[in-house]
């Protein structure tokens, strides 16, 4: 098996995550239209994966590295950040928002890009932090993020198409926004060198986990109540099971 140093490992995982978003954007511009049910199933599956990786990996890792009090505060800080962005700027997850609200996005706005940039930045930071924690934790964080990046890239390019952009431009917008912001998050971790302080890695993981919980709640809640409860629950369960199964086969959290 190939051996990677921390920087190479983070870079490889960032490429995988961005590629998932690019694939979603490509599907969107080729098909031009994705059914509400189809996007709902994809988002729900990803939400289930995010939920599972949060409770199976991020919570125990955070509490072990940062302690229960600081760990809990870090989770709350991540949730609060995404709540405030959604409340006062724009929904941090356009794909989630597109499936659980009645708002029809007709153009990519500065507010949308700003909110999504923070979201994707945290994805990159999550990938970086996962690479510094347990071996299986890093892999499972990558899987959950990649699952979510696919419908996210799809939704962003669909909005671009709806605003009148050509297929090529819509794809490039979706890819560029996801790539720049996600890679920046990973690069920020490398520059700040959280690896020198284990407690900081735990705090970052907790902060990311709080953001994941916000996304999960807002991706699933309205779908369960208003639109496709059966498909939403089933897809979310499958997403969670996929992470649990992967954790089982990967073995212990730490190398």
**pLDDT averaged over 10-residue windows placed end to end, the chain, 255 residues:** 68 96 94 77 92 95 93 96 92 68 59 89 93 84 95 88 88 94 93 72 92 89 71 92 93 57
Q: How far is CA 238 from CA 50, 150, 174, 246, in A?
A: 12, 16, 27, 12
Q: Which helix (H) or strand (E) holds 107?
A: none
Quick one: residue 223, left, alpha or beta (phi over 0 = left, psi -120 to 50 = alpha)? alpha
Q: Which residues have C-beta within 8 Å of that of residue 236, sequence separation ≥ 6?
A: 44, 45, 47, 48, 51, 220
End-to-end alpha carbon distance in the chain: 15
The answer to whether position 3 is within a domain reads no
Closest CA to 44 of 241, 238, 245: 238
Domain count, the chain: 1
The token pair at 203 is: 């705090």
Per-residue pLDDT at 3 = 47
Closest CA to 165 of 209, 80, 212, 108: 108
The answer to whether position 230 is within a domain reads yes
Evaluate whether 36 touches 155 at the Cβ level (below 8 Å): no
Number of helices followed by number of strands (H, E) in the chain: 10, 0
- Quote the pTM value: 0.89
The answer to whether position 255 is within a domain reads no
The answer to whether position 59 is within a domain reads yes
SS3 133: coil
Domain that holds residue 26: 8-250
Per-residue pLDDT at 111 = 82
> Alpha-carbon distance 167 to 165, whole Å?
7
The answer to whether position 39 is within a domain reads yes
Among all chains, which residue has been given the structure tokens 């073995």?
Answer: 251
The answer to whether position 117 is within a domain reads yes
> Alpha-carbon distance 120 to 185, whole Å?
7
The answer to whether position 1 is within a domain reads no
The answer to whether position 91 is within a domain reads yes
């Amino acid at each position: 098996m190939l051996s990677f140093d921390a920087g190479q490992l983070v870079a490889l995982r960032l490429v995988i995550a961005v590629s998932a978003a690019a694939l979603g954007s490509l599907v969107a511009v080729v098909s031009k239209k994705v059914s509400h049910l189809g996007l709902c199933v994809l988002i729900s599956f990803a939400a289930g994966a995010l939920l599972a990786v949060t409770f199976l990996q991020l919570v125990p890792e955070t509490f072990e590295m940062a302690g229960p009090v600081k760990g809990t505060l870090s989770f709350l800080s991540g949730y609060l950040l995404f709540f405030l962005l959604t409340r006062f700027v724009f929904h941090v997850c356009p794909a989630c928002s597109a499936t659980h609200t009645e708002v029809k996005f007709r153009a990519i706005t500065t507010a949308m890009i700003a909110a999504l940039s923070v979201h994707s930045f945290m994805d990159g930071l999550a990938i970086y932090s996962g690479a510094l924690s347990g071996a299986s934790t890093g892999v499972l964080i990558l899987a959950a993020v990649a699952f979510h990046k696919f419908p996210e890239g799809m939704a962003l390019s669909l909005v671009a198409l709806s605003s009148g952009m050509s297929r090529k431009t819509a794809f490039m917008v979706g890819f560029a926004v996801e790539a720049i912001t996600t890679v920046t998050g990973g690069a920020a971790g490398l520059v700040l060198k959280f690896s020198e302080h284990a407690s900081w890695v735990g705090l970052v993981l907790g902060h990311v986990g709080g953001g994941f919980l916000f996304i999960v709640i807002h991706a699933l809640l309205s779908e369960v109540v208003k639109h496709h409860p059966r498909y939403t629950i089933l897809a979310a369960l499958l997403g969670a099971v996929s992470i649990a199964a992967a954790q089982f086969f990967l073995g212990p959290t730490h190398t």
